[in-house]
Amino acid sequence: MSSPLSLSNDSWAARFQALPKAELHVHLEGTLEPATVVALAKIYGDALPESAVTARYATRDFSAFIEAYKWVTSYLRAPRDYALAARRLCEQMLAQNVVYAEVTLSAGVMLLRKQDVEANFCAIREAAEPWESRGLRLRWIFDAVRQFGPAAAREVARCAVGLRGAGVVAFGMGGDELSRPATEFREVYDYAAAGGLHRLVHAGEIGGPDSVLDAANILGAGRIGHGIAAAADPKVMALLAERSIGLEICPTSNLRTGALARYAGRADAGMPDHPLPKLFRAGIPISLSTDDPAMFDTTLTREFSTLDEMGLHKPEIMSIAEGAFRGAFLPEGDKSTLLRAFRAKAESLGLL
């Protein structure tokens, strides 16, 4: 096997930057950079220095992250605010040469705050539409909040099904995976699937392997957000590999929310302790994502640099880069077109 490919190498970094990429696990609300939060706060009469936002974002455990997420989303109050967030997201994506992304929207939070989900979504789509001509294709995931319960999740699923023709491809569920059992949401997921949506679940982030198993067996997840706890149980890993259930892994997020420390059983756990290599080498489909890149001060290219820290090798890194295209909720013909373009570019850059 070849030696690890260093993403810190200037030549490699430049070539990788030029590579077309896909991202499957990124929350619109988590892309709000400090300057954008300052601009939003100003609209509502709050004078925030950027340093205050940066301080809020400096989380090291899951509960602190949830509080920061609630705070920053409190400045998304009207469709115009979501439109601004969408424009900034598109700028960030194209700067990294991301050509396809499935973006998660916290529809459950919108509903909690009595917002018009459809109006917000229309503003987001209109803001993003001009970027399609520049090579960025976006699809959308409506996310429920687990601790809000199944009735609230059903309302999110209803909105998602109603907007499927406008680019919503999946129904997902985030929040505190330890708050309520998966069985409470089985009917909601069945409803979403009957309405033509794919099934997504955040699981195995702060929960254990059983949470991943429930996501697969009870909720029928086609992909799982995070899922790193699966590495603790060979049977769960074997099930994911056998069913080709993909894991959307976000290493820096796992570090900043304390999920990696929980998995490793050490407060000082760092990237070499990450189970991604073990999961990948077990035959589980893996894609790499940023989760909440502004909040975690990361980019997709930086996430790929963590693979070098973990000791992954060139063919493995390139396979994971392809994994986001393979795992996309797109028709097979569309995926094949994107993969051909990825491979052609990678070959021209000497990366394959």
Name the one residue in this structure whose structure tokens are 């993969």.
Answer: 339
Name the one residue in this structure whose structure tokens are 């439109």.
Answer: 83
CA distance 261 to 65: 15
50 part of the active site = no
Q: How many residues does the chain have?
A: 352
E strand or H helix that includes residue 191:
helix 186-194
Bridge partners of 291? 26
Q: From the candidates 102, 205, 248, 322, which is the catalytic residue?
A: 205
CA distance 338 to 99: 9
**Residues 6+ positions from 266 with CB-CB distance below 8 Å:** 273
Tell me phi and psi for residue 134, to 5 degrees: -100, 5
How many secondary structure helices (H) and strands (E) does the chain include?
18, 8
Bridge partners of 22? 100
3-class DSSP assignment, residue 334: helix
Going by C-alpha positions, the residue among 218, 145, 153, 154 that lies closest to residue 176 is 145
Q: Name the DSSP letter for residue 163.
A: T
Using CA atoms, how far residue 273 sits from 5, 28, 206, 241, in Å, is 18, 28, 16, 21
CA distance 228 to 212: 9
**Residues 6+ positions from 146 with CB-CB distance below 8 Å:** 153, 173, 174, 175, 176, 177, 179, 180, 185, 202
Residues with catalytic roles: 205
